[in-house]
A and B are shown apart, each in its own frame.
Chain A
Amino acid sequence: MSLSGAVIPPSDGDHSTAEDPGRSLLVTEPLTLESGVVLPAYRIGYQTYGALNADKSNAILVCHALTGDQYAANTHPITGKPGWWTSLVGAGKVVDTDRYFVICSNVLGGCLGTSGPKEINPETGEIWGLDFPVITIGDMVAAQRRLIDHLGIGQLFCVIGGSVGGMQVLQWAKAYPERVFAAVPLATAAKHSAQNIAFHEVGRQAIMADPDWCHGDYIKQGKRPERGLAVARMAAHITYLSEPALHRKFGRNLQDRPRFTYGFEADFQVESYLRHQGISFVERFDANSYLYITRAADYFDLAAEFDGVLAEAFRETRTRFCVISFTSDWLYPTAESRVIVKALNAVAADVSFVEIETDSGHDAFLLEEPELFRTLGGFLDGCAKHRGLRWR
């Protein structure tokens, strides 16, 4: 293996990892991106939970979604909040860290320790900004593969992720089928729809319309396009919820006031909630990263290289799939999951498909959904049996 990676602490001045050094891999083997651009070296920030067994057969790779990060199951270094998938990943939980070795890495283009637009371009010594090459889901997964190589893991027991993380799961299964024993794409799609792209474009335009964005050069100019990024998050956040969930949570309730103010303050609770979502998001996320990662999702179309025949992406696959969708998810609706299932059926792949009844919308995969947990637990147990995994 030509990989010459080493676990080294992140560079000084990386404020995002100052509180928790986390773990970081510097890959010096160049990566040829799908765009043709070559990334000579790059860093991957990651976290692991649990212990790798002797034959390295119990590794689960968790792929994070659009604005997630590697802190799936431990305290986030910036927000101080519990990891984003603490409900699912941990000792005695469905993805049981007493049994499995769980890996979660920050995606390429991200902003929490993995190379991305806010990091230093080693060739120039300057912040990348928009000089960072545009990356794809395929590039993200190719970079993750170097991390898995580095950890000495041949075949992952399972790759699991929701939304943009689910796209990475599908990409893993397509690009490295022999390295994925089981795959769980949650609330996702095999390609980004026009509607998906449209919503992302709204977010990007909001960021780029902020004068503090400075054509992507805001870090050097000592500014942050907080308003633009917050608006992008607010618009996106609506797509993660469902109308019934919004109604259930907020209805038309007013925010700490008995009547309308007849102005443009946040009169309604839902406005206040969205503003809060926007403000708290800008604390932990980089605006340019948001542009790059949304772009990667937009470019995603697993069937494109097979003349649109998705089944070809999975031909000869021996991976066991568990596709899960949620009834009220209108961002990646069940129909998109069915497309994946149909393609897998067309090659007689081993696939389970469950649509879970919930009014929580797209975000359901991040929430405590008992049916999701039971399904996933059963699937993992079944796969563990087939894989011959044993525990004390």
Chain B
Amino acid sequence: MAVTAEDMASIPALDAGAAGLRADLALIAQMVAPGSRVLDIGCGDGALLAHLARAKSVDARGMELSQAGVNACVRNGLSVIQGDADNDLEAYPTGAFDYVILSQTLQATRQPRQVLDSLARIGRHAIVSLPNFGYWRVRLSLLLTGRMPRSPLLNYSWWDTPNIHLCTLRDFTVLADDLGVAIEEARMLDPAGRPYGMSARHPAANWLAAQGVFLLKRAE
């Protein structure tokens, strides 16, 4: 069956505006300078890329593991390749992008340390968002039930979760320091996904943040 022009036109545009973006993605979008070169790793259906291309005129590229995600992106005119953070970052040259974005994915990589290192190498900046395993409800859940915590952000049983390297915000900042990656901005989100007026580096954020969003840069 041939695809008609009507079919093509009926594919909905992905960029519903920042209002339609997931909370951490909206925050990430704010961190990106207009007109820059961006690589979004784990770009899903391309919602963030489409938004950045439209609202900030960025040169938007993406990488996504799922075939369905890649196809949806390319279908919508985005430049996206199938690949994953563990295996496909090595090929990129140093400083190829202004921003390399990894949202809610670091905890699912096999080698988070190498991945973070690669992000800071490929991008002049890296932006990473991740769930906080140190969030007080997570801690309390484990303490009280004695079972692996589940939350809207981490909604998997222990035996089928893709999140094999969960960490707390503190764990993350320690790793960044260790790699010589400077944290330029550290934002936290509350469980409803609202940005919270406290630095994610603040000791209390490791209790209070459901997730963190970090703007990073390799230290000179």
Contacts and interface: CB of A to CB of B under 8 A. Distances in A.
Interface of A: 87, 92-94, 96, 320, 322-323, 341-343, 345-348, 350-357, 368, 370-371, 373-375, 377-379, 381-383, 385
A383 B96 CA distance: 21
Contacts of B8: 374, 377-378, 381
A346 B96 CA distance: 9
B3 interface: yes
B61 A350 contact: yes
A354 B93 contact: no
A93 B7 CA distance: 11
Interface string B69-91: 01101111111111100001001
B11 interface: yes
A353 B82 CA distance: 6
A189 B3 CA distance: 27
Contacts of B75: 374-375, 377-378
B74 A378 contact: yes
B30 interface: no
A373 B2 CA distance: 8
A96 B2 CA distance: 12
**Which of A341, A350, A354, A375 lies at the interface centre, i.e. has the most chain B CB atoms within 10 A of its CB?**
A354
A82 to B, nearest CB: 13
A33 B52 CA distance: 47
Contact of A345 (B37, B67, B81): B81
A322 B70 CA distance: 12
Contact of B80 (A348, A352, A383, A385): A352
Interface in B82-117: 82-83, 88, 91-93, 96-97
B209 to A, nearest CB: 33
Nearest to A375: B74
Contacts of B67: 354-355, 357
B87 to A, nearest CB: 10
Nearest to B80: A352
Nearest to B37: A348
B5 A382 contact: no
Given A345-B91, A378-B75, A378-B76, A353 B81 contact: yes
Contacts of B79: 320, 350-352, 382
B144 interface: no
Given A353-B70, A373-B3, A348 B82 contact: no
A320 B81 CA distance: 12
B70 A354 contact: yes
B4 interface: yes
B2 A378 contact: no
B78 A382 contact: yes
A368 B96 contact: no
A323 B81 CA distance: 9
Contact of B77 (A96, A345, A346, A381): A381
B1 A96 contact: no
Given A96-B5, A368-B2, A373-B2, A354 B92 contact: no
Nearest to B97: A348
B91 A93 contact: no
Nearest to A385: B77
Interface in B1-57: 1-5, 7-8, 11, 37
A352 B1 CA distance: 24
Contact of A347 (B3, B37, B80, B93): B93
A191 to B, nearest CB: 18
A354 B88 contact: no
Contacts of A373: 2-3
Best-buried of A93, A351, A352 by chain B (most CB within 10 Å):
A352
B6 to A, nearest CB: 9
Nearest to A382: B77
B82 A355 contact: yes
A375 B71 contact: yes
Nearest to A386: B77
Contacts of B78: 352, 382
B220 to A, nearest CB: 22
Contacts of A352: 70, 73-74, 78-81
Contacts of A341: 81, 83
Contact of A379 (B3, B59, B61, B77): B77
A385 B77 CA distance: 9
